[in-house]
């Protein structure tokens, strides 16, 4: 054993450092890469979950407005007067630090983000009063507005206007 301890042949300081750095770099690189992948996956998951919640909230508010619109319409039909509903929906401007856009269809709400690239669709039962929007909306504060159509018109003649 003492013989090897004293024997300095075949040992280079440079080679030792290179080997040590290579192994350390490899280990740390794998750690950082794995951590980055984990972060990306979790980030997508969290953004997706929050968009789903945001979409569900918007759907609930649309149905709330629909319910009020039906009441206002039924009242207006018996009195020939006008009724109105205006409902503010306070949604977050960003989810997990990224902005998003909202696209409202007849029975679906699509929420889109670009970083990470996601398209979350929330389905909701069709409303009695049709929903109307002017293209895509930015996430944040929305307003749902309804005015009763002229007396005698069916309930479908009205519109739930969603604006940003």
Residue among 136, 144, 140, 70 at smallest CA distance from 104 = 136
Q: Are strands 160-163 and 131-133 parallel, antiparallel or unpaired?
A: parallel
CB of residue 27 to another protein, shortest distance in Å = 9
Copy the structure tokens of residue 155: 């309930």
Q: Which stretch binds another protein (CB under 8 A): 59-67, 106-114, 121-129, 130-138?
A: 59-67
Q: Which stretch binds another protein (CB under 8 A): 53-61, 112-120, 132-140, 156-164?
A: 53-61
Residue among 51, 161, 164 at smallest CA distance from 99 = 51
CA angle (42, 48, 53) in 5-degree steps = 125
Beta bridge partners of 118: 113
96 to 125, contacts with another protein by CB under 8 A? 96-97
Identify whether the C-beta of residue 137 lies closer than 8 Å to the C-beta of residue 102. yes
Handedness of CA 124, 129, 134, 139 (dihedral sign): negative
* Binder among 78, 125, 126, 152 for another protein (CB under 8 A): 78
36 or 135: CB nearest another protein = 36
- Give φ, ψ of 136 to 5 degrees: -80, 150
CB of residue 83 to another protein, shortest distance in Å = 4
CB of residue 3 to another protein, shortest distance in Å = 25
133 or 148: CB nearest another protein = 148
Contact flag: residue 64 with another protein (CB under 8 A): yes
Residues of this chain that bind another protein (CB under 8 A): 17-18, 20-21, 24-25, 28, 31-32, 35-36, 38-39, 42-43, 45-46, 49-50, 53, 56-57, 60-61, 64-65, 67-68, 71-72, 75-76, 78-79, 81-90, 95-97
């Amino acid at each position: 054993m003492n013989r090897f301890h004293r024997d300095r042949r075949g040992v280079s300081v440079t080679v030792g450092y290179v080997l040590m750095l290579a192994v350390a770099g490899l280990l740390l690189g794998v750690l950082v890469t794995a951590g980055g992948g984990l972060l990306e996956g979790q980030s997508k998951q969290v953004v997706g979950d929050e968009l789903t919640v945001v979409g569900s909230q918007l759907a609930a508010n649309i149905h709330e407005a629909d319910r009020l619109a039906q009441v206002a319409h039924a009242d207006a039909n018996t009195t020939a007067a006008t009724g109105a509903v205006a409902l503010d929906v306070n949604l977050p401007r960003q989810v997990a630090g990224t902005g998003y856009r909202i696209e409202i269809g007849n029975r679906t709400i699509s929420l889109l983000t670009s970083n990470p690239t996601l398209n979350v669709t929330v389905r909701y039962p069709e409303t009695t009063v049709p929903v109307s929007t002017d293209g895509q909306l930015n996430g944040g504060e929305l307003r749902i507005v309804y005015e009763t159509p002229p007396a005698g018109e069916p309930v479908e003649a009205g519109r739930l206007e969603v604006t940003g």
